[in-house]
Structure 1
Amino acid sequence: MTGPRVFESLDAEWALVCAGAGRAEMVLGWLREGGVLFGDERARGLAELLAELECRDRAQGRVHSDRWMRVLLERAVGEGAGAQLAARVVVQAMLPGAVRMTQRLLRAGRDFDETGQVVVACLYQVVRRYPLGRKGGVAANLLLETLHMASRELQADTETDAVPWHPVLETAAVPGEPAADDPTEAVWRTVLRRQAAEAGLIAAGEVPDGARGELVELLVWAVAAGLLDGVRARVIADDSRAGARESAERAGVSAVTWRQRRSRTVRQLRPIADQWVQAA
């Protein structure tokens, strides 16, 4: 199972889709016509076929995922049962990213399943309307536009918290690769950098990563959730910059005072971090 109820339901639905007679052969035929799978490929179930595609994605990279996704998207933007089936296969391939996106979009007062329903509904719309002439990584484009649409849906009454459109992420990877190279992570890092810069948590052009990246993400979430004042968040972010301790010492802050300040920060962030983990 990929996650709580909304995604459990989709997995159960996927099992029924896979059980339908002739569906795997139909999808396999489309892929063969598109030059993705060749004549020596044996017939297999739809779930096994998708697993094989994802395995090849990991081995061959984004070029492979772009090719087979475009073949199915050409069908998905049309009409009829074939379009619905093609769209459903693409959506199933993107579900791990949809789960992580749902986790990223959680805020105080938001229910996981309600948020997930919005994300999945937006993902379906994006798949069925995908502009086939768009360049760049297909998976990254799908996720980025879904994130844009879902954020608008969830924050329609809070313009400053909505996620605007960003340029195509040319360097995004493919579904199923390690988290650091996952298109969902690439999309979120772009949004996170924008939100963190707007909140004054990072300098212009800074790319927070590692432990500092995790701290900045926590601070962005805490401020959005109303658990931390924006001014305090900026102080904490400044204290976590490389060389911050040395700068404080040059400004006359003693080592003892610095340790006490860091201890206060840890005590303040610990319960917030617990809520962040629970929300995710």
Structure 2
Amino acid sequence: MTGPRIFESLDAEWALVCAESGRAEMVLGWLHEGGVLLGDERAPGGLGDVLAGLERRDRAQGRVHSDRWMRVLLERAVGEGAGAQLAARVVVQAMLPGAVRMTQRLLRAGRDFDETGQVVVACLYQVVRRYPLHRTSGVAANLLLETLHLASCELQADTETDALPWHPALESAAVPGEPTADDPAETAWRTALGEQAAKAGLLRADEIPDGARGELVELLVWAVAAGLLDGVRARGIADESRAGARESAERAGVSAVTWRQRRSRTVRQLRAVADQWVQAA
């Protein structure tokens, strides 16, 4: 199962879709027409096996492969009729792991996981059914980034929290020719998080929020949005946690004792914020 109720329901629905005869052959026919070959088209085990085969090839061949097969199905999904619904459903199922993680990261105080997940899934369906086919690179990341924008705006209307910023240049989430992350959801999230963190002054122009640094920045962005930290304090924490910050402080005349006291105060404050973050999640 992919996660709590909303995603369990989608997985159960997917099992029913896969059980209907002729579905695997229909999707394989579209893929074959689009030049996407799995090597075992003649004897598919079912629609679930088709998707699993595509995902295995994605891991082996990377974004070029996922771009190709997703575009084939999206060309069908933006149309009308049962074929469009089936194509959209396959793409949505492929994107569900990213949708789960997006739901977790969009949680705020007062938001329910399943209600947030319903918004995310509804927005994902909208994005799939109206995907701009001229965007041929980084399809999975683009789907998630636009879903993130729509979902955050929907949730903002309900909870009056700040929505994540949106920029039309979706290709920035997956630059052609550059190595891409294994998980397009992470790519999309880092892009949106980086924009919001930079706007709040938590990142320098050349910083990329990844690893432990990215987790800290994500916590600070959430804390400011939730009203647990003001922007000045969040920027101070971001500055003192950068590599080389202690050396810079010493050059500015800050004693080792003062630095340790400052760090202890920051740790206590972040521990309290993190506790509330966990409770909200």
**Which moved further from structure 2: 125-134 or 6-15?**
125-134
- The amino acid across from 2:65 in the alignment is H
Task: Rate the CA distance shift 1:271–1:152 in 2: closer, same or farther, 3 A.
Answer: same
The answer to whether the 8 Å contact 1:32/1:39 transfers is: no
* Counterpart-to-counterpart distance in 2, 1:221 and 1:159: 10
2:99–2:117 contact (8 Å) kept in structure 1: yes
Q: 1:62 to 1:131 in 2, by over 3 A?
A: same
Query: Match of 2:21?
Result: 21
| Cα-to-partner distance string for 1:2-61 (whole Å, 9 max, x where unaligned) | 111111110111111111121111111111221212675222211111001000010111
Show the 5 A alignment for 1:12-91: 12-37=12-37, 41=41, 42-91=43-92
Q: Which amino acid aligns with 1:147?
A: L
CA distance in 2, matches of 1:50, 1:139: 14
Q: Which runs of 5+ in 1 are unaligned?
A: 174-178
> 2:104–2:113: 8 Å Cα contact kept in structure 1?
yes
The CA deviation at 1:78 is 1.2
Structure 2 counterpart SS, 1:151:
helix
Structure-2 separation of matches of 1:54 and 1:181: 11
- What residue in structure 1 maps to residue 170 of structure 2? 168
Q: Distance in 1 between matches of 2:134 and 2:191?
A: 23
Report how far residue 209 of structure 1 moved.
3.0
- Counterpart residue identity of residue 13, structure 2: E
Displacement of 1:170 in angstroms is 5.5
Residue by residue, what CA displacement relative to the aligned partner does 1:133-182 show, whole Å, maximum 9, x if unpaired?
Answer: 22321111111111111111111375853432341235639xxxxx9532
Aligned to 2:133: 132
- Structural mapping, 1:1-280, within 5 Å: 1-37=1-37, 41=41, 42-156=43-157, 158=160, 161-169=163-171, 172=174, 180-280=181-281
Deviations 1:200-220 (A, max 9, x none): 112223223332222111111
The one-letter code sitting in structure 1 at the alignment partner of 2:48 is A
Q: Is the 8 Å Cα contact of residues 6 and 117 (structure 1) preserved in structure 2?
A: yes
Report Cα offsets for 1:193-239 as digits up to 9, x if no partner: 11111111122232233322221111111111222222211111111
Q: Distance in 1 between the 2:267 and 2:54 partners? A: 45
- How much does 1:263 deviate? 1.0
Structure 2: 5+ residue runs without aligned partners? none
Runs of 4+ aligned structure 1 residues displaced above 4 Å come to 157-160
User: 1:176 — aligned with what?
Assistant: none
Superposition deviation, residue 113 in structure 1: 0.8
Q: Give TM-score scaled by structure 2 length.
A: 0.91
Change (3 A) 1:256 1:166: farther
Structure 1 window deviating more from structure 2 (47-56 vs 212-221): it is 212-221
TM-score with structure 1 length normalisation? Answer: 0.91
Instruction: Write the letter of the residue equivalent to 1:169.
Output: E
Structure 1 residues 142, 248: closer, same or farther in 2, change over 3 A? same
Q: 1:23 to 1:135 in 2, by over 3 A?
A: closer
Partner SS state of residue 181, structure 1: coil
* Aligned-partner residue type, residue 202 of structure 1: L
Quick one: distance in 2 between partners of 1:132 and 1:2?
28
Worse-matched range after superposition: 77-86 or 206-215: 206-215
Is the contact made by 1:196 and 1:220 (CA closer than 8 Å) also made in structure 2?
yes
Aligned residue type for 1:12:
A
Structure 1 residues 199 and 117: CA distance shift in structure 2, 3 A: same
Q: CA RMSD in A?
A: 2.1
Q: Tell me the distance in 1 between the aligned counterparts of 2:92 and 2:165.
A: 22
Distance 1:54 1:216 in 2: 31
Partner Cα separation in structure 2 for residue 55 and residue 99 of structure 1: 20
For the structure 1 residues 238 and 228, does the alpha-carbon distance in structure 2 shift closer, same or farther, using more than 3 Å as the test? same
Q: Which amino acid aligns with 1:98?
A: A
Contact preservation (8 Å) 1:136, 1:168: no
What amino acid maps onto 2:227 in structure 1? G
In 2: Cα distance, 1:188 partner to 1:39 partner: 33
